[in-house]
Amino acid sequence: MNFELTEEQQMIRQSARDYAQRELIKDVLERDAKAEYPAHHVKALAELGFLGMLVDTKYDGGGMDTISYVLAMEEFSKVDSSVSVIMSVNNSLVCYGIEEFGTEEQKEKFLKPLARGEITGAFLLSEPNAGSDATSQKTLAVDMGDHYIVNGTKNWITNGNTASTYIVIAQTYPEKGHKGINALLVDRHAPGISLGPHEDKMGMRSSDTHSVMFTDVKVPKENRIGEDGFGFKFAMKTLEGGRIGIAAQALGIASGAYERAVRYAKERKAFGTEIINHQAIGFKLAEMHTRIEAARYFCLKAAWLKDQHQPYGTASAMAKYYAAETAMYVTTEAVQIHGGYGYVREYHVERLMREAKLTQIYEGTSEIQQIIIARAIMND
Ligand code: CAA
């Protein structure tokens, strides 16, 4: 077993750290307050090669491994998960889905500009009545011969407004249940697409989240990803990798809050000494540090399995479950260590706590991850 990172992995982590600590940090509080889309940061991440970092170089991506992706996601998420979620959705839900299951024509047309970061993508699975219960898709993609006609509503769509390419999961044969679902590449600006208002979220306030309505939207048949009826398996396979990204995001949120808590505990004095010298605080930091290290190993293990082309679905569910729970625990403790200062915006930890909450919900709630892990145990 080798715990060492390669030189390339260390360089990628350093590059993400430099950008996050120098640039992202500057306006994160203001963007959070105004719920303002981080357009200039998305452009910068594209130029640095992060938006398509996992895509093969032959499709204009960075050709980097999943371990590097985890390292970069952690660094960006220490500072601002509104930005890292855009990177995560683009890389592991949209680009991965097309690269792994798309045709050469789809890769040429859709994947290359996404991998270069010229445009971003969105993954449209959730619906008003199909969140955790993802097989209950009500959006219809009716087969019209050479094209589909799509009608329905998707909810909570990250990059809903700013994406240029959507991957839409929709039902073609309701009588077949999940075996009748398809995944379609859809132009965000196709006639018949309209958006709900920007969601006023608790955390990750500056990523753009919308509901998306489809009214008689025409989608060419050649935009279907995979065989007829492959859409649900496509979504599940794609989410396996997506969850590594969100696990790494949760890890970053926890690390960011922990680093701030340690700094504060070494400076703040109470009862005649820095508060880190009080056992009540020392024990909290010890617990936070230990859980973060454990979450890191879960993330790296899932990433390593993916890079080795070994099954990684259960490992990614464990990583997401544990890292999200850790993020919630650590950020809550970080606020507590900061006392009253933790409860105000300028100390960042309350924002990290709000961001942590979302990692327990999206790309499969903690309870969904437990279902996946429990089923793996049953089938073992
Ligand atoms: N890989 C391949 N196939 C899979 C699979 C996987 N990981 N998981 C399930 N399947 C297949 C099953 O084998 C089954 O196919 P067969 O009948 O041919 O065997 C089919 O899919 C249905 O599976 P289940 O019977 O297990 O279905 P279920 O109804 O019990 O649900 C679930 C399974 C795991 C709970 C699933 O519904 C799920 O993951 N729900 C959560 C959805 C989710 O994560 N949503 C996130 C939205 S995206 C998002 O948040 C993005 C963003 O913007 C940030």
Whether the per-residue pLDDT at 32 is higher than 90: the answer is yes
Distance 237 CA to ligand 1 centre (A): 8
Closest CA to 314 of 243, 238, 231: 243
User: Per the structure block, which two tokens stand in for 380?
Assistant: 């073992």
> Are β-strands 140-143 and 147-158 bridged in parallel, bridged antiparallel, or unpaired?
antiparallel
Handedness of CA 272, 273, 274, 277 (dihedral sign): negative
Percent of the chain surpassing pLDDT 90 = 99
Q: Is 14 left (phi over 0), alpha (psi -120 to 50) or beta?
A: alpha
Q: Any residues with CB less than 8 A from the CB of 144 and at least 6 apart, and which?
A: none
- Residue 363 annotated among the catalytic residues of the structure: yes
The number of residues in the chain equals 380
Cβ of residue 89 lying under 6 Å from some atom of ligand 1: yes
Burial 249-267 (b: 16+ CB within 10 A, else e): bbbbbbbbbbebbbebbee
pLDDT tens readout for residues 267-311:
999 999 999 999 999 999 999 999 999 999 999 999 999 999 999
Say whether pTM exceeds 0.75: yes
Protein residue whose Cα sits closest to atom 29 of ligand 1: 135
Helix (H) and strand (E) counts in the chain: 13, 9
What's the 244 CA to ligand 1 centre distance in angstroms? 16
pLDDT confidence of residue 317:
98
Ligand 1 atom at shortest distance from the alpha carbon of 243: 44
Question: Cβ(289) to ligand 1 under 6 A?
Answer: no
Q: Is the pLDDT of residue 2 over 90?
A: no
Asked if residue 37 has its Cβ within 6 Å of ligand 1, the reply is no
Quick check: CB of 362 below 6 Å from ligand 1?
yes
Measured CA to CA in angstroms, residue 143 lies from 110, 140, 168, 182, 214 at distances of 22, 9, 15, 10, 15
For residue 1, name the pLDDT band (cuts at 50, 70, 90).
confident
User: Residue 120, SS3?
Assistant: coil
Pair 26, 70: CB distance under 8 Å? no
Is 135 touching ligand 1 by the criterion CB < 6 Å? yes
Residue 79, pLDDT score: 98
Distance CA 70, CA 5 (A): 12
Ligand 1 in reach of 125 Cβ (< 6 A): yes
pLDDT tens digit sequence for 304-345? 999 999 999 999 999 999 999 999 999 999 999 999 999 999
Ligand 1 centroid distance, CA of 181 (Å): 12
pLDDT tens, residue by residue, 127-141: 999 999 999 999 999
- Write out the two tokens for 219: 């989608």
**Distance between CA 41 and CA 63 in Å, rounded?**
21
Pocket test for ligand 1, best of 82, 84, 236 (most atoms within 8 A of CB): 236
Closest by CA position to 39, among listed 167, 220, 170, 163: 163
Question: What's the CA-to-centroid distance between 267 and ligand 1, angstroms?
Answer: 47
363 lines ligand 1 (CB under 6 A): yes
Are 369 and 317 in contact by the 8 Å Cβ rule? The answer is: yes
Q: How far is the CA of 133 from the centre of ligand 1 (A)?
A: 8
Exposed, middle or buried by CB within 10 Å (0-12, 13-18, 19+), for 3?
Answer: exposed
Q: Which atom of ligand 1 is nearest to the CA of 239?
A: 44
CA distance 107 to 98: 6
